[in-house]
Amino acid sequence: MRAMTERAAFPVQVRLFARYAELLGATLVTVRLRAGGTVADVVDGVRALPGGGALPERMLVARGVEQVRYDQAVSADDELALLPPMAGG
């Protein structure tokens, strides 16, 4: 039973803002991730969606209100956000 659980995929919701939402045509997308997957795997999943190939190579990613590294593990109950560069004055 354990091997089956380790291979199981789960959905991860990813919020998109500003230009990133425009590129993908949505403010929320879902990526399927295998157990043990990382933030980098989620970003790769978003890039594989229509329009995702135009996303920059490196982006800021947040879980809740904290920025996360690409090598951090992702859980089934996580919601990530891809944050475009901010501009302002």
- The CATH number of whichever domain residue 34 belongs to comes to 3.10.20.30
Q: Token pair for residue 48? A: 């594989």
Q: Considering the chain, what percentage of its residues have pLDDT values greater than 70? A: 89
* DSSP state, residue 35: T
Look at residue 2 and tell me if it is in a domain.
no
Across the range 62-67, mean pLDDT stands at 94
Which residues, including other chains, have CB under 8 Å from residue 77's CB and lie 6 or more apart?
none
Model pLDDT, residue 86? 76
Task: Report pLDDT digits (tens) over 13-49.
Answer: 999 999 999 999 999 999 999 999 999 999 999 999 9
Write down the pTM of the prediction: 0.86
Does residue 4 carry a pLDDT above 50? Answer: no
Model pLDDT, residue 40? 97
State the total domains in the chain. 1
Look at residue 69 and tell me if it is in a domain.
yes
Look at residue 89 and tell me if it is in a domain.
no
Look at residue 1 and tell me if it is in a domain.
no
Are β-strands 9-16 and 79-83 bridged in parallel, bridged antiparallel, or unpaired? parallel
Domain that holds residue 47: 8-83
